[in-house]
Amino acid sequence: MVQNMEAIEMRRIQKRLLILFALVAGLSLQGCDIFEEPDDFILDGPPNYNLPHVDPHDGVFVNEHGTMTFNGDGKSVTLDIDGMVAGDTGLPEGATDAVYYFYNPIVPTGYECEYNEAHEMHFVIGGDNIKVEVGQVTEDGAFHTGVNQTTADRITLFGNGLESYYDFVLTEPGEEEPDQSLEDNGSEEPEEKTDEEVQNVLYEQYYDIISSLDNKWDQFMLVYFDGDDLPEVFVSSTELDMNDLKEYLLIAHSRAGAEVNEDLRDGVAGAGGYRGDLYYVPRKGILYENTYSAPCNNPSDYIYLLDDGRLTLYASGRTEVMDGYEGPDDIEHMTWFWNDEEITPEEYEKKLNEETINLSGDALSSLSYVDRASILNKLAETIN
C-alpha cells in the first residue's frame, strides 16, 4: 500500500510539474471549444447539512385543486387532485392511495431524506415511482428547493418543468377548504416561461455580472458544471494574488438567479507552505482540491458539491505526520483521516478515488479560457 500511495503522490507531482512547465514556457491550449464536455462517474454518500430531525407530515393539506391526506406514519398518503395538477405533475387524477418518500438527488446516487432537505417527493402508485420536485416559490417568482424549503405545514409541488406550482397547506381541524374556483377567488395561474426564456434571463445575468467585474478578471470559460442544460462560467485572472496563487470565480445558476462563488485559489504559494490544485468534474457538480503542506509534503483533499448555485463542502481528507518523523519522504509514517475519522491509507485512497472519480477532473488552471470580449460576444449571440 505504501508503494501505491507513493505512486499516487508521484502522479500528482508529475501533473503539477507539467502545468507549471506550461505556465513558465508560456504555452496556451488552442482550438478547444468554449464549452467543456461531460464524463460519467459514480459517487456515494449524502452531504451533512446538520439539520434537526422532523416528524412526518400529518393531517389534510389543501390546495384549490385538491388535497393530500397524511396519517403521520411517514409512508402513506391519500391524493385527491384534479386534472390540472395531474397533468402538470404526472400524478393520477382523482382519489388515489400512495406510498411516498422525500428524496435528495444532490449526490448522483441520491438518497431518501426528511422533508427539510428534500428536492423531490416520490409517490409509489401501482408499481410506478412518480417523481415531483418540491420547494417553495418566493414573491419575486423564483423557485427554491432543498434545505428548509418544505415545511411542516406546507408542501409545494412543482409541475411542468418548473413552469407551474401548487401550494398544499395544512388545514386545521374545522377549517374550511379554500374555494376551488379560480374565477371566484380572483387568483391567476403563474405565467409560464419557456426553456428559451429561462436561458435568456440567465445569460443576461451572466452578461451583467461579467461586465461589472474588476479588470483583473480577464479569463473566462463556459462549462457544463452540473447535470442540467444550463452552463456555468469559470472566471480567472492572469494576475496572481499576494501569495502568488491563481484566483478563480464560479458563476452558477440557482432557483433565484445567477450566483457568484468566490475565494477559489490554487498554485504554489510564494512563501511556501501551500501547494494545491483545483479540479472540476463536468456535468456532475463536483469541485475538488488536492493540497500539500510543508514541511512534510503531506496531502489533504477537499470535495465540494454545487447545490442550487452554491459550492458546499461535502467531504474532506487529511494526513498528519507521526511524532518523530518530519520530512517529505515520510508518507508511510502518516495518520490518515476522512471527515475527521481516522482510517487506513487503503480506505483513504478508496474514498478519494470514489468521490473524485479517480482524480479524473479537469484542472481549472488548464482550461481553455477566452478573454472578456469573447465571452460577452458569445453570451450576446446566444440571447434571443
pLDDT tens digits for 332-374? Answer: 778 899 999 999 999 999 999 999 888 889 999 999 999 999 9
Place of cell 496556451: 28
The better pLDDT of the pair 328, 180 is held by 328
- The pLDDT of residue 329 is 57
Q: Provide the 8-state DSSP code for 191.
A: P
- The pLDDT of residue 320 is 87
Contact between 124 and 100 under an 8 Å Cβ cutoff? The reply is yes
Give residues with Cβ within 8 angstroms of 202, minimum separation 6: 230, 253, 257, 258
Least-confidence region, from 155-164, 234-243, 367-376: 155-164
Judged on CB neighbours under 10 Å (0-12, 13-18, 19+), 58 is middle
- Give the integer Cα–Cα distance in Å for 261 and 278: 14
Q: Peptide bond before 328: cis, by omega within 30 degrees of 0?
A: no
**Average pLDDT value for the chain:** 81
Beta strands 58-63 and 232-236, pairing class = unpaired
What is the value of pTM for the model shown?
0.53
- The pLDDT of residue 183 is 43
Instruction: Indicate if the alpha-carbon torsion angle 269, 280, 353, 340 is positive or negative.
Output: positive
Residue 352, classed as helix, strand or coil, is helix
pLDDT tens digits for 1-10? Answer: 333 444 444 4
- Give the residue-averaged pLDDT of 71-77: 91
- The pLDDT of residue 22 is 38
| 287 band by pLDDT with thresholds 50, 70 and 90 | very high
Give residues with Cβ within 8 angstroms of 131, minimum separation 6: 103, 120, 121, 122
From the CB of residue 367, how many other CB atoms can be counted at a distance below 10 Å? 19
pLDDT tens digits for 85-100? Answer: 999 999 999 999 999 9
- The pLDDT of residue 221 is 96
Q: How many CA atoms lie within 13 A of 97 on its CB side?
A: 3
Residue 83, classed as helix, strand or coil, is helix
Percent of the chain having pLDDT more than 70? 76
- Give the residue-averaged pLDDT of 117-138: 89
Question: Cα angle vertex 339, ends 337, 343, to 5°?
Answer: 35
Place of cell 434545505: 147
- The pLDDT of residue 190 is 53
- The pLDDT of residue 4 is 41
pLDDT tens digits for 10-68? Answer: 444 444 444 344 333 443 333 344 444 444 333 445 666 678 899 999 999 999 999 99
Per-residue burial over 226-236, b = 16 or more CB atoms within 10 Å of its CB, e = otherwise: beeeebbbbbb
pLDDT tens digits for 134-144? Answer: 998 877 677 78
Contact between 46 and 33 under an 8 Å Cβ cutoff? The reply is no
Closest CA to 253 of 245, 261, 242: 261
Residue 87, classed as helix, strand or coil, is helix
Give yes or no for residue 103 having a pLDDT over 80: yes
Alpha-helical segments (H) within 186-332:
195-212
